[in-house]
Amino acid sequence: MTKTLHDLGEFPLIEKIRQFSPWKKGEVGIGDDCAVIPLGRGQVQLVTSDSLVENVHFLRQKIHPFDLGHKVLAVNLSDIAAMGGTPERAYLNLSLPADLSTSWLDQFLSGLQHLGKCYNVTIVGGDTTGSPGPIFINLVLQGSMEKKYCRLRSAGRAGDILAITGRVGDSHAGLQLILRQGELTNWEIVDHDFQFLIDQHHKPTPAIREGQWLAKQSGVHSMMDVSDGLQSDLQRLTQASKVKAIVSLDKIPVSSSLKKLAKRFDWNAQILALQGGEDYCLMVSVAASSFASVARSFERQFHKPLFPIGNLERLKTGETDGVHYIFQKQKWHPKANSFGHF
């Protein structure tokens, strides 16, 4: 029987591509948030790429084109943030149906440009093609930074404290609301908590400045963005760093809006926070001896907490990297994983 991509899965597919993609000494290739290419004189170039496909990543009738333009750039900016870098220039590739209105395109480009101005990012190239069906959007983003500050997900160390820079689960909750908008009352549609969660899904805020600041703290070892769901991304970090993680489910931070609507719709807020994707905060591992100082300085700098959720431990003989969860001081095993393509 022929094996399909459904049988293979997304992450084994990435591993298969990696086997055909050798890179030069000093470079970081497939497996981190960005490719890292030496430029000389202690500088590196960062390169990342993300694609958004209609009916997979967004529903055209459910998102304003301005917000979609924002999101296309934001998800790439988040990768640059995860390395601690500075974004610079973008290449936009569009495959569009011929009957798409020029008004839609103008608003999409305005949203992209508006966020780009916030971080001094300009579009310098790309490609356009027709599409016989859904809209396909790809953006390649370049950035740069000093090599000594570049933070890789493979640099986590046993004894580090794991922390995230924001609350998680809001984006996935927002998606659930978007999918059931036809069921909502007029009062619910204008409710602050409903709109807050929908905005978190449609217009994420990349943690560029937080990433740049954290990368320069000597106690910070590894860093990555939380894009595919905390559960999946925890697994990726432990695999890359060859350690195991002990994570307290009840320490994973969730917003008051998510708590309220979880009660309203009978959702499990902690499971949404663990398995929902597209939150785009950062996950860091910090030396235990430095964490209190880093967390205090982070809160003074950004007026929000750095949330500790667990710690990294050395693998014992015969153990493999992975994540172990604790809930109310008891071992806990998740029943399902975060979203995966195919």
SS (H, E, C) 67-123: HHHHHHHHHHHHHHHHHCCEEEEEEEEEEECCCCCHHHHHHHHHHHHHHHHHCCCEE
Best CA proximity match to 72, nearest among 37, 11, 121: 121
Contact 241, 153 (CB under 8 A): yes
**Cβ contacts of 338 within 8 Å, gap of 6 or more:** 228, 229, 230, 231, 232, 274, 275, 276, 277
Selection from 163, 277, 284 nearest residue 224 by Cα = 284
As to burial, measured by CB atoms within 10 angstroms (0-12 exposed, 13-18 middle, 19+ buried), residue 25 is exposed
Cα 223 to Cα 76, 304, 317, distances in angstroms: 15, 18, 26
Domains of the chain from N-terminus onward: 5-149 (3.30.1330.10), 153-332 (3.90.650.10)
d(CA 312, CA 50): 29
Across the chain, the runs of DSSP E, i.e. the strands, are 35-40, 43-53, 86-96, 122-130, 136-146, 161-164, 220-225, 244-248, 282-286, 307-313, 322-327, 330-332
Average pLDDT per consecutive 10 residues, the chain (342 residues; last block may be shorter): 71 66 63 88 95 94 96 98 98 97 98 98 96 96 97 96 98 93 62 92 97 97 96 94 95 96 93 94 98 98 98 87 83 69 52
Find where tokens 């069921």 sit: 183
Nearest to 200 by CA among 71, 49, 58, 66: 71
- pLDDT given at position 342: 46
Token duo for residue 157 = 């160390």
pLDDT at 180: 84
Question: What CA–CA distance (Å, rounded) separates 97 from 81?
Answer: 33
Q: What is the pLDDT of residue 336?
A: 63
